[in-house]
Structure formats: C-alpha cells, structure tokens
Structure 1
C-alpha cells in the first residue's frame, strides 16, 4: 500500500528526530574533546564550540601505555572473533543440516548460555583461569571473550545456514563436487553476510569489555583500552577533555570496521531469519 505524502513526511521527521537523539551523545563527546579545560568546566551548554584545540588528543595519544593497550585490545578482540567464527561455523552446520537425538536440547542450551548475564560468569571464569594459571595473561582474556561470544555466534550462524537451501549443495555434488567442495564453493560464500554480522557484534562486545580486563590483568602492560580510559580519573579530579578525546580515539577502530562491512551487515540481518 503506497503511503501518502503526509505519511512519508511524518515518518521521515520521526526518523530524523530518533537519529538525532542517538547521535547527540556522540556529537557531545566529539565537541567536548575539542574544548579547552576552561570551556569543558563552563556551566554554559555550547552546542558549537567557540574555540577548538587538539591538545586533548595530544595528551591522550602521548599518555603512557596507549600503544601497548591498543595492541593488547586488538590481539584479544580479533583473536576471540576469529576463533568464535571458526568454531561457530563448525557447530552451526551440523546443527542445521543433520537431525540427531538431543539436537533441540543442545540448541536450547546455546540460547540459555547466550541469555546468561556476563556478570554471573565472572566468579566461575576467574576461578577457572586461576586454576589454569592463566591470570594476568592475554590468553585468559581471549578465552573469556571467545566463550562469551560463541553462543551468539553459533545461534546466529545456525539461522543463516538454515536459510541456505541444501538443494544447492546437492546440485554441486551432482556436478562433481565433493561434500567439502560443495560447502566451500556454495555454502561458504552464501554465509558471507552471516559471518560479517556475527563478527561485528562479537567485535563490539569484546572491544568494549571492561570488568574482566580490569580484574584479570594485574600487570598494566597487559591491560586493554577500556582500562586505559579509566586512567584519566584521579583521586582529585577527572580530565574530562582527555577522557572525551580518548573516547573518540577508542571508538575509531569499531567505527572503521563497521563502515567497511555495513552493506553486508544489513543484508546479513535480513538473510539470517530462522523460518518457523
């Protein structure tokens, strides 16, 4: 049913207003990062800064440990995302293609693990890493991020594999492909949107995690960027300009990753619906 001009204008205005509400905190963070210390603490709410400075970015980027924390964050985040994707694909395909006893129960367990709050897993994870001797090591964070993102990855990829007709693989095998070759040539390319979608959500979850990185990593040289952001607060004051500038720098990797894969992300969210 075609909408009238009034309906289209109304929906457009509502959409713009909602977008502005979500965009405003980011805009405020960026403009504050460009203000001088006096302007940051001023009681005036200047939506457009009267003066701009890059000193906050200079102090943030030259703060001790930034490069080390950045490297640690990239290692544990990318490592967890790649491991979750590999294991997720290997788990989602048999769950979607094969019918075996206990399959529905296993899917229910995956859903329950996905819905479990991360804070509830903190003490068991800590005790496990302590017994394994992995505390204060980057592999402990990588394993935690991998474990927390795996249920979501398996559940999402299960829906994407379900949406790919098995007839396509059978046609490829009739044409001479082996089962592995049919998966590699037919199913895997069609899983592209699903892999992109799950990788984005897993990346954001691991990139923003703070509590495990703070407690597990006692050595400052092994901590991550979220912990680095908390270093701008001292017992006497908070460097708000530095915090905002550091937050802008901190958001850049996730923003760049999202912009690169945004087209695949939209198509992937549509293609991954599970049919009842």
Structure 2
C-alpha cells in the first residue's frame, strides 16, 4: 500500500471513530425539535440548557464519583498485581513458568459473559455484593491478563547486568523492582494503567451484576437509567452521554503517546 493509501485508510478509520463522538457532543447543544427536524445538522442556535441541567444534577456527580473511585482502585490493583506477576515471570526461573504465562495469555480469550455467574457467586460468598470494592476487585482480575502480557516482555528486555550491578550495591530483588525496574518500565505501566482505567470507567456488565441500589451506580448504569427515565428527551440523553465519556476520552488523548511507546516496547521485548 502506498503512503497516500495509508493516509486515506487512516482518515477513514478516524472518521468512523470521530463522527459518532461528534454527533453525541454536538447533539447535546441542540433541542429535541432540531434533532427531529435534521438529526445530522449543526446546532442552530446553540443551546446550553442540556449540559447545564446535567452538570447541575447531584445524581450525575454522585455517579461520576462512584465511577472514579472504582476506576482508580481497579487501576491501582491491576498495575500493582500485574507488575509483580510480570516481574516474577520475566526475571525468575522456576518450573512451570511458561505454563503460568500461558494461563495469563489464555485469559485474554475468556469473556466476562462466560464468567458472570461464577463471579456473582464468588462475590456473594465474599460479601462483596453492593460493594464498590467488589466491582474493582473483579475488574482488576479481568484486567490482569493483558497487563501481564504487556509487562512481562517489557521487563524481560531490561538487561540482566542492571540487576547484577544493583545486587553488588546491596539492592535486593524487591528494591530492584521498586527503584530500577518500575521506573524503566514506566511507558508500559502507563499503557496498562490507561487500559485498566478506561476498561473500568466504561464497564457496564460487572456493575450491573453487583449493584441493585441506584446510590451505588456508576456512570454507564446511570446513563442507561437516564435513558429509560427520559426516553423522549433525546438532546438531554446526548448531553448526559457526552459528559459521561469526556473524562475517559480526555485521559486517553493525554496519555496516547505513552500508550504507543509502551505497546511498541512490549512488542520489541
């Protein structure tokens, strides 16, 4: 494929990705009458009432707080446990090491829908239903496979001479992990952190499985409840949806370069 063909393909992919986002964001600045008359048109005039109504709702901020708490906790658990597992699988030699790594790799093929009932029963036995920590713990468990798959080759590519030099200076294995390995693996850590955060922020099935009380709902559940309650207010639904996705979208755009670097390093490793 020629260079111009690649640019054209990239533009087509970007268009397919950005057009729905633009429709949602711009739709929040329109009235229902404008949407009914011309669904694909631009706001004329621009209306701020939909966004003001959502931003002025205490329910929206409660949902965002719930989502942020769960997403941050799941990200910390995923990165912490994934870094420890990736370090052990990359730097330690023990019987069954490749088998353990294969299990993590196989976890990429294990969808949440298949595990819904076992996860629900396990959380019930642990008394973690209606608990934000139960959701974060389950999300971290499902995020570990991709985390380990990215971190292990990245950590394995770091020269062993660094570990030998650190050992000569009196640095133990945990000290080497904390002081040398994690700083050097920062691009990969940022990558898995962003993936874990976005996966948790956008999660719908797990929170729906665990939560019954609306006070515990996350933003995806809140958007679904808002759509059911105000099904005729299309403009309001679009504004609610746009504000729900903007934090995660902004976080992704901010960390995009580090994600590319982390994935490239993992592939090279």
**Fold match by TM threshold 0.5:** yes
Q: Does 1:148 align with 2:142?
A: yes
Question: Which of these residues, 203, 211, 229, is aligned with residue 217 of structure 1?
Answer: 211
State how far apart, in whole Å, the 2-side matches of 1:233 and 1:112 are: 36
Instruction: Single out whichever of 162-171 and 30-39 deviates more from structure 2.
Output: 162-171
Q: Does 1:24 align with 2:19?
A: yes
Which residue is 1:33 aligned to?
Answer: 28
Which residue is 2:6 aligned to?
Answer: 11
Which residue is 2:100 aligned to?
Answer: 106
SS of equivalent residue, structure 2 residue 158: coil
On the 8 A contact 1:163/1:273 being kept in 2, the answer is: no
State how far apart, in whole Å, the 2-side matches of 1:184 and 1:124 are: 35
Question: Which of these residues, 63, 76, 79, is aligned with residue 82 of structure 1?
Answer: 76
Residues 127 and 182 of structure 1: CA distance in aligned 2, closer, same or farther (over 3 Å) = closer
CA deviations over 1:139-177 (Å, ceiling 9, x no partner):
211111111112221221112112212222223434x25
Which residue is 1:49 aligned to?
Answer: 43
Which residue is 2:260 aligned to?
Answer: 266
Which residue is 2:246 aligned to?
Answer: 252
Residues 10 and 130 of structure 1: CA distance in aligned 2, closer, same or farther (over 3 Å) = closer
SS of equivalent residue, structure 1 residue 72: helix
Question: Which of these residues, 151, 160, 183, is aligned with residue 154 of structure 2?
Answer: 160
Question: Which of these residues, 164, 170, 173, is aligned with residue 170 of structure 1?
Answer: 164
State how far apart, in whole Å, the 1-side matches of 2:247 and 2:230 are: 31
SS of equivalent residue, structure 2 residue 227: coil
Q: What's the CA shift for 1:250?
A: 1.0
CA deviations over 1:31-83 (Å, ceiling 9, x no partner):
111111101222x3434333210111122223451111111111111101101
RMSD, matched Cα = 2.0
Q: Does 1:226 align with 2:226?
A: no
SS of equivalent residue, structure 2 residue 267: coil
Q: How does 1:230-245 map to 2 (within 5 A)?
A: 230-234=224-228, 237-245=231-239
Residues 184 and 132 of structure 1: CA distance in aligned 2, closer, same or farther (over 3 Å) = closer
Residues 238 and 154 of structure 1: CA distance in aligned 2, closer, same or farther (over 3 Å) = farther
Give the ranges of 4+ consecutive aligned residues of structure 1 lying more than 4 Å apart after TM superposition: none
Residues 185 and 132 of structure 1: CA distance in aligned 2, closer, same or farther (over 3 Å) = closer
Q: Does 1:206 align with 2:200?
A: yes
State how far apart, in whole Å, the 1-side matches of 2:152 and 2:104 are: 11
On the 8 A contact 1:169/1:183 being kept in 2, the answer is: no
SS of equivalent residue, structure 1 residue 237: coil
SS of equivalent residue, structure 1 residue 50: coil
Number of corresponding residues: 268
Which residue is 1:138 aligned to?
Answer: 132
